[in-house]
Structure 1
């Protein structure tokens, strides 16, 4: 009987971790709060509309089936040469979107990434747009770990760009030990744990010890995630060797007040990913 009790106690200690691995759609930031927040966020995102990409001959629909059999749908912007013709890609850029963004609306804004010779991939998060599954942060992170591993088998150069919530997702991906060449994290919150999430989920806890291939961007005019929410991540990353840029005129990504600022920001992103600039 004594050994049976010890065995049962062991099961109780192990089962939560087993459940987390087996069911990626478990809530980790509070059963009600995580569901409510994602419902609120997703309600702000526009509905999918394939007409937004109509006429873009280099943009193709793409799908990925996750390990728990959910289909993520998105778009691939093919690499192009100086004449605007499809070319063999130098590598890929996987973009993780903000919580109110949708793939067919965002893919057309990243043409310059394609013009640098990269295949650009954007997927709607599970539960967003046309992607299957429930909106859960643990599931989204696991999905992107799989997407990176999958794309790494097809391309030699492996580049990542995370925007806002997508920055938190990418921080967890690189913190898990995923293989990549360069990554830009643009306006990620430093911490999610003050909002009920476990500490291991905090972007600030997932910065690699050697962050030389990381660029962190923040904005002093960011009205969505202010300096009190982003500065810690930026400063910790800098201490570990990351390039950082705190734009005095930068707002939240894709919400900058003037196109010239937005344009400069995206050029900064692709220059770093492409290896043309280090800061």
Structure 2
């Protein structure tokens, strides 16, 4: 969830308006394509409504590599899929297809990002994905990072039809609630310290991951968090783990915010989690 520090000054307005747009920092310009880092890809455009369409990339596995499954990737609150590609570019050579989308307002996606409107984008992407022939009869895993973890985890926890189609859920650096993360950000700077509680009170309370994370069970859940994360404190991950039900696992690593898959060891641990929970009949 890069650029959350940009929210500091905005909290003065937030206390008045409670506007969820302050959680989103989209960039329209794509800085690279998968082809530029040696990956095959398909451009995907999905119509969500008459006013909104979302854009994504589907990354097939490399030639002569067996398809082991598919990862549906939901990125954090800043930039777009071209910058977050670094978290998942390594998966196709390891046998996992990847589908990553930009929420409305990001990259080539139209519209304005708002909560809960962005939930329709995540759902639309998922419905497109499960209809693809190459995805059929293979496990599907959801991987969300930062704001993407909190939003997508909330949807899995409230929509059994999504939960039951997934073979595993990975939530990397998710936060427990909008009010708690807002209070943390405000309290971390002397300019906004006095506004930490008004900021927390102004946040939406109907879409908090901590309230529904237990409902992800019985789908296997992996919670990931860096011990040096100063954007979303490590304790958020521990609280989510405590509330979640089995089967669950926790990947703790020494590192900062969503730096997880810069490390090959963490990549291998993710693969071990997915392989452990690969169903015989997806």
TM-score bin (small chain): 0.7 to 0.9
Q: Deviations over 1:25-70 (max 9, x none)?
A: xxxx9855323342xx33xx58313457436351232222214552
Q: Which range is displaced more, 196-205 or 171-180?
A: 196-205
Distance 1:236 1:68, change over 3 A: farther
Q: Deviations over 1:142-196 (max 9, x none)?
A: 2112222331233232111000111012212211221211110011001114433
Over the aligned positions, Cα root-mean-square deviation in angstroms equals 2.8
Any conservation in 2 of the 1:92–1:118 contact (CA below 8 Å)? yes
The answer for the alignment partner of 2:96 in structure 1 is 118
The answer for the alignment partner of 2:251 in structure 1 is 245
Question: Are 1:76 and 2:82 matched, yes or no?
Answer: no
Distance 1:101 1:35, change over 3 A: closer
**How many angstroms apart in 1 are the aligned matches of 2:68 and 2:16?**
42
Q: Which range is displaced more, 194-203 or 117-126?
A: 194-203
**How many angstroms apart in 1 are the aligned matches of 2:54 and 2:66?**
25
Give the SS at the match of 2:154: helix
TM-score, with length taken from structure 1 = 0.73
For structure 1, the residue ranges without an aligned partner over 5 or more in a row are 1-28
**How many angstroms apart in 1 are the aligned matches of 2:274 and 2:230?**
26
Any conservation in 2 of the 1:47–1:129 contact (CA below 8 Å)? yes
TM-score, with length taken from structure 2 = 0.72
The answer for the alignment partner of 2:226 in structure 1 is 219
Larger Rg: 1
Question: Are 1:205 and 2:211 matched, yes or no?
Answer: yes
For structure 2, the residue ranges without an aligned partner over 5 or more in a row are 1-14, 181-199
Q: Deviations over 1:112-149 (max 9, x none)?
A: 31123222111111111111111112122221122223
**How many angstroms apart in 2 are the aligned matches of 1:160 and 1:144?**
11
> 1 or 2 for the larger relative contact order (CA 8 Å, sep ≥6)?
2
The answer for the alignment partner of 1:150 in structure 2 is 128
Q: Deviations over 1:90-122 (max 9, x none)?
A: 432110001124212233552331123222111
Any conservation in 2 of the 1:53–1:104 contact (CA below 8 Å)? no
Distance 1:129 1:244, change over 3 A: same
Any conservation in 2 of the 1:171–1:185 contact (CA below 8 Å)? yes
The answer for the alignment partner of 1:173 in structure 2 is 155
The answer for the alignment partner of 1:6 in structure 2 is none
Give the SS at the match of 2:129: helix
Q: Deviations over 1:3-35 (max 9, x none)?
A: xxxxxxxxxxxxxxxxxxxxxxxxxx9855323
Tell me the matched-pair count: 235
Give the SS at the match of 1:222: coil
Q: What is the deviation of 1:228?
A: 3.7
> What pairs up with 1:8-27 in 2 under 5 angstroms?
none
Distance 1:63 1:86, change over 3 A: farther
